[in-house]
Amino acid sequence: MNSLLWRGEFARLWWGGLINAIGTWMTGAALPVYVYTTTESVPAAGAMALAATLPGVLLGSSAGVIADRFDRRAVLVVTNLLAALSLLPLLFVGTQGLWVVYLSAVLKALVTLPTGPARSALLPALVPEAQLAQANALNALNNNLARLVGPALGGLIFAAADLSSVVVLDLVTYLVAAAFIASLTPHPVAAGPREAVRAALTAGWRAVRVSPALLTLVLYLAVTSIGEGVFGVLLAPFVTHVLGGDALAFGWVLSAQAIGGVVGGALVARHAGRVAPLRLWVFGAAGLGLADLAIFLYPLAWPGVGPALALMVLAGVPASAAGAGWMTLAQHFTDDAVRGRVFGLAGQLSGVGLLLGLGLATLAGQAAPITALLCVHSALLMLGGLGAWVVWRSRQLDRLPAGAAPATAA
């Protein structure tokens, strides 16, 4: 694990990504506060989140085409530079009004769409296949470190200075990330006949449809994302109404969640090389479902926020295992030529699931108990993990499908 973080191309990708993610979380924390304090309107803040989410839901598969058609290193450099440019309108929000906030959110979402597919598709070229699960766990650690540090730093700078200071610092992190990634060895796509636009757009769907392994992975992600949407909407009401906490308690719960991700990512990265990715995925998903179920049900016997903090940290271990296992299997079973499009499709379906969960929680939250709805999230995780295990074993999906090449390191 240490060699991955301190040497080689993966290390440069990882550190550049961490710096960039911290900046993204800084702005992500400061912007909603700015919008809400300026308008005192919850719908206005919600509209900003929608503006940042919809492009991925509508165009996620298209982003994968870019990740497969061009050198993925170059794609990541360009998307980071364009993301920096997309922040510039925020420097004029004081004179132009809130419309520039929504403009910036849409622009940033659009130009960064290829980032996730390109990064996930590039990773197998940077590390040996035996270390792929460790690298994916380290990426989860990266994201949670940023989630732990970024919002606090963004809130502090926003309170001490202004929104422009946060934006400028975020812009710098994108430039730093672009410099780190530009130092990687180019990884041009294999030469071949150029696909027609329609064929290129549907290649991800075709690859998933003909591979039982990929179909199982993508369906799992789409279904469990519905529960994630429910969880995202109802966590704050759960903390305040069920646990009897306040805004500070909610902040502590979010921090505990991030700490759990950091601890889990570190543990999984250390031991992932000795555990099969399938076991990481399915038992991690089932374990996360059980941990979340304990969080949602313990207040029936023991009210208070304290146990939720401990359980949130504990849940970080199976969450990191499930994420690393899922990503490793998806990379392993996908041919490099369509890997970006498969990840683009997976991200798009995940976004659809999140929106469905958000709508379900919003509509049903007025009539159904909060705890009962949150238990749906736990059930989807447990059933998804165990169901995937049954399908995987019954259909003997452990081998690569015909025509799929195993991941190789450059």
CATH code, 227 = 1.20.1250.20
pLDDT digits (tens, 9 = 90+) for 78-134: 999 999 999 999 998 877 778 888 889 899 999 999 999 999 999 998 998 888 999
Quick check: 61 and 206 in contact, CB under 8 A? Answer: no
Please tell me the predicted confidence (pLDDT) of residue 68: 87
Same domain (yes/no): 395, 330: yes
Least confident of 82-91, 250-259, 370-379, 393-402: 393-402
Quick check: 372 and 242 in contact, CB under 8 A? Answer: no
Same domain (yes/no): 218, 104: no
Same domain (yes/no): 242, 273: yes
Q: How many CB atoms lie within 10 A of CB 118?
A: 30
What is the pLDDT of the chain when averaged over all its residues?
85
Q: How many CB atoms lie within 10 A of CB 67?
A: 30
Query: CATH number, domain at 20?
Result: 1.20.1250
Please tell me the predicted confidence (pLDDT) of residue 405: 40
Type and span of the H or E element at 15? helix 8-39
Same domain (yes/no): 244, 341: yes
Looking up tokens 């240490």 gives: 2
Number of domains into which the chain is organized: 2
Same domain (yes/no): 44, 176: yes
Report if residue 395 sits inside a domain. Answer: yes
Report if residue 261 sits inside a domain. Answer: yes
Across 232-244, average pLDDT: 84
Same domain (yes/no): 54, 90: yes
Quick check: 319 and 260 in contact, CB under 8 A? Answer: yes
Same domain (yes/no): 95, 33: yes
Same domain (yes/no): 214, 88: no
Report if residue 98 sits inside a domain. Answer: yes
Report if residue 406 sits inside a domain. Answer: no
Same domain (yes/no): 97, 150: yes
In a 10 Å sphere around its CB, with 0-12 CB exposed, 13-18 middle and 19+ buried, how is residue 275 labelled? Answer: middle
Report if residue 198 sits inside a domain. Answer: no
Same domain (yes/no): 332, 377: yes
Q: Is pLDDT above 70 for 283?
A: yes
Report if residue 139 sits inside a domain. Answer: no
Look up the domain containing 80 and give its range: 1-128+146-189
Phi, psi angle pair for 56, to nearest 5°: -65, -35
Please tell me the predicted confidence (pLDDT) of residue 221: 93
